[in-house]
Amino acid sequence: MLELIDISKRFEENTVLKAINLTVDKGRKATIIGPSGSGKSTILRLILCLIQPDRGQLLLDNMDITKASKKELYEIRNKIGLLFQSAALFDSMTVEENISFSLTERPHRLTQKEISRKVNHALELVEMSGQNKKQVTDLSGGQKKRIGLARVIINDPEYLLFDEPTTGLDPVLSTNIENLIVNISKELNAATLTVTHQISTILRTSDDIYFLHDGQLLDPESPNTIYQSKSSIIKNFMNGKSSV
Ligand SMILES: Nc1ncnc2c1ncn2[C@@H]1O[C@H](COP(=O)(O)OP(=O)(O)O)[C@@H](O)[C@H]1O
Ligand SMILES: [Mg+2]
């Protein structure tokens, strides 16, 4: 379970998060939406311990990661799978090398056979079986995105973080990635947190949708309720209207 309790964060005079609370259980998919600059990526960076909150607790598996030792942090980070907007693959490596890269860093070394089995399973999950030896430079944009996803899931993460996973993709590719996100979180029974402002992604990949407004999370909606939200801020956002 991922829990943010009264988390506040400011950058000099700019208070980005004002005592936010958020819980994502294993097997659930939460999505944070809101305008650019509202602090969505800041939440993900806090969870990754790239920055520290000014106040509050950040619990993963009931451990406060803001107080974790280096060793504990290393273990926690191994449980988190992260996909940014750009897949950021290594162009000089094959598909297989890109996917298995993080496995070779592990303290307990896996055999080549175990690595191959994991790579093949990850490729199967992203519907790219048999592409192991392909060079990354020979892949299309959509295929690169899938390999990025395969790399995320190779460590069987218990937490999945997606930052704008479909931004800049055409509608067909977006649908594709959205379906993969849903399938992968289910397969891993992960606690999934997606940050996006793409409507299709909000509707397809979420159980609970949180709007980040003025440093606070509004009451959650589901894909079924969001267009009838009592909040005019949320309704306006979904309909592409300005709230001011
Ligand atoms: N390291 C930083 N130093 C100063 N300001 C920052 C830093 N990171 C983010 N910000 C500011 O915090 C606000 C929220 O940023 P961000 O979380 O990236 O927004 P979003 O992902 O919702 O577009 C922005 O005003 C941004 O300029
Ligand atoms: Mg962002």
Question: Could you tell me the distance, in angstroms and rounded to a whole number, from the CA of residue 11 to the centre of ligand 1?
Answer: 8
User: Would you say domain 2-79+158-238 falls under CATH 3.40.50.300?
Assistant: yes
pLDDT in tens, 182-224: 999 999 999 999 999 888 889 999 999 999 999 999 999 999 9
**Amino acid symbol at 30:** A
Q: Could you tell which of 9, 10, 11, 33 is best to mutate to test the pocket of ligand 1, judged by most ligand atoms within 8 Å of the CB?
A: 11
Domain ranges in the chain are: 2-79+158-238, 92-156
* Residue with CA at minimum distance from ligand 1 atom 26: 37
Secondary-structure percent of the chain, ordered helix, strand, coil, rounded to 5: 40, 25, 35
* Residue with CA at minimum distance from ligand 1 atom 16: 39
pLDDT in tens, 49-107: 889 999 999 999 989 999 989 888 888 888 999 887 766 788 889 999 999 987 876 66
Residues, Cβ < 5 Å to ion ligand 2: 41
Residues having CB closer than 6 A to ligand 1 are 11, 14, 16, 36-42
Give every strand in the sheet of 80-83, ordered side by side: 80-83, 159-163, 191-195, 29-33, 208-213, 216-217
